[in-house]
Amino acid sequence: MKTIKILGSGCKNCETTAKLVSQVAEEAGVSIALEKVTDIAAIMGYGVMSTPGVVIDEKVVHTGGVPSLEQIRQWF
């Protein structure tokens, strides 16, 4: 199981990113634990200054916008 965190304030782009990640993980048959992190201090703790950010197993893999489906597929 992969642990995935969506970093952001809960804006539309953050919600879209969470939905896309869930969708692609399900299509790939990968079990995930999805967490939304909205605390600014926690987000900055990952070194993310532009949201949404995506963290997989404690490694930042994306920041600053909604990732493409192709990008997300590469993570799985």
The catalytic position among 4, 6, 14, 55 is 14
The catalytic position among 11, 30, 40, 44 is 11
CA 12, 45, 5, 51: dihedral to nearest 10 degrees? 20
CB 65 within 8 A of CB 54: no
User: Shortest CA distance to 21 belongs to which of 40, 37, 35, 42?
Assistant: 35
* Residue 14 annotated as catalytic: yes
Q: Which residues are catalytic?
A: 11, 14
